[in-house]
Amino acid sequence: MKEKIALICTTYNCKQEMAESLQIFSLPGNLELLDEFVIVDGGSKDGTWELLTDLAKRVEKLKVYQVPGANISRGRNEAIKRTKADIIVGFDSGTRYDDNWLKLMLEPFVIPNVAVVGGSTITCGETRFEKCLAFLSITTKSDILFNPSHRGVAYRKKVWEQIGGYPEHVQAGEDSWFNARWKKLGYRYINVPEAKNYWRMRKDWMSTFKTSRRNIKGHMTLGAEAGWKIIVFTFTLNIFCMLCLILGFYNHKIWLLGLLPYLMYVYMRFKRGMCFFINPLNFLVGVYALLAVNIGTVTGVLEGVSLFLKNKIFGGSSNNE
């Protein structure tokens, strides 16, 4: 008996990007692969909901629901609860996909015992700021192979059921948490590097800071089982350099003490895009963008650790975290 397949997504105020995704996944070749197509909207005010309801009238397999206030985790959980599928394929409304992405993501499930499939994320941008962030955010080979982003992932519904769904008390970090759970349960994973999704970077400093802060806060609130060493290193280095900057006003030699390790850190972050950052203007914009990421990381760690300790000491969690 053929396994039932559902494509799911949650969205909020993402009309333009969602329109592009809907165009791809509504192609006859993609719809033929699906038994269900479910999207949960978190209460969009920009026309996203109207876009979804209009298309649902014309695409029989597309079912749309509105759950006001739903974050990413709750939106995904609500979408999955509304399916009867054996295999769940998740995509992100703010990400672009190739026409054959869905086909590539489903092919590994014919292999015995495969329970989770991940593609690869390609960071991209159009403005100089976005391009700098894209080079700074290039996904490592380790992440691609072992820690798939849930903007491009597929898994058997039993995996989601056994884990207990996504953690709804955080705004971000849920995909790494979910990955850590299925790994502990021993589920077999296959990476399909050809199944590429294209993630456009944030357009300015403040949105970059907010995204970094939100993501790191979520990771730390959940215990950061994946990537915590990098997070702690980045936090410690930046706190040290900030202290050197302040103390340097009393003894200028301390500035040099903080400058040297920070320059080494910048080199490590920039080396994968060295040909791009050799341009002086790109380098300066890159340093500016990296500052937003780092300040967001420091803020997110402080907030996330405090929430983690609060939950450990007093128990429970809050959906407003």
Question: Which has the higher per-residue pLDDT, 278 or 226?
Answer: 278
Which of 141, 174, 200 is the last residue in one of the domains? 200
Looking at the structure, tell me whether residues 194 and 212 fall in a common domain: no
Looking at the structure, tell me whether residues 270 and 299 fall in a common domain: yes
Average pLDDT for 95-108: 95
CA distances to 19, 39, 140, 144, 316 from 181, in Å: 32, 24, 21, 17, 19
* Alpha helices for the chain (secondary structure H): 15-25, 28-31, 48-56, 72-81, 101-106, 128-136, 141-146, 157-163, 174-184, 205-221, 228-247, 253-270, 274-277, 280-314
Domain of 169, CATH number, reads 3.90.550.10
Is residue 26 situated within a structural domain? yes
Looking at the structure, tell me whether residues 58 and 149 fall in a common domain: yes
Looking at the structure, tell me whether residues 139 and 287 fall in a common domain: no
Q: Is the pLDDT of residue 115 over 90?
A: yes
The pTM score is: 0.88
pLDDT one-digit tens code per residue, 248-288: 999 988 999 999 999 999 999 999 889 999 999 999 999 99
Q: Is the pLDDT of residue 183 over 80?
A: yes
Is residue 132 situated within a structural domain? yes
Average model confidence (pLDDT) across the chain: 91
Average pLDDT for 158-187: 93
pLDDT one-digit tens code per residue, 17-69: 888 899 999 999 999 999 999 999 999 999 999 999 999 999 999 999 999 99
Structural domain count, the chain? 2
Residue 124 β-bridge partners:
200
